[in-house]
Amino acid sequence: MIQLVNIIGSLFYGTILGIFLVAFYLKKVRGRSIFIAALISEAIVIAFYCVDEFVPDVKLLPFLWLNPLGALITVGLAWLIESSGSKNDTEEITHFQDV
């Protein structure tokens, strides 16, 4: 029972930690970027767990390592998505504020 709780926590807590880390330390990353990054990160973490659990003779990561994996992927993807996005979004917001 304790292991089941740890597995379920490992699937989701890393992504949640990544969201909080971005909110505290990367102020220029906006909500849309972090939302997309969190969805992709969660899919990757679940894929790692499923491959590790259901594919015979394949052991990628122990489930406790899914926490830092999810956090790092979330932070990295959010920063990457935000930095590769167009800069026109801020111009549109400024334009609407002037009206």
Q: What is the SS3 string spanning the chain?
A: CHHHHHHHHHHHHHHHHHHHHHHHHCCCCCHHHHHHHHHHHHHHHHHHHHHHHHCCCCCCCCHHHHHHHHHHHHHHHHHHHHHHCCCHHHHHHHHHHHC
| pLDDT at residue 33, rounded to an integer | 95
Tens digits of residue pLDDT in 50-62: 999 999 888 888 8
Tens digits of residue pLDDT in 14-35: 999 999 999 999 999 999 999 9
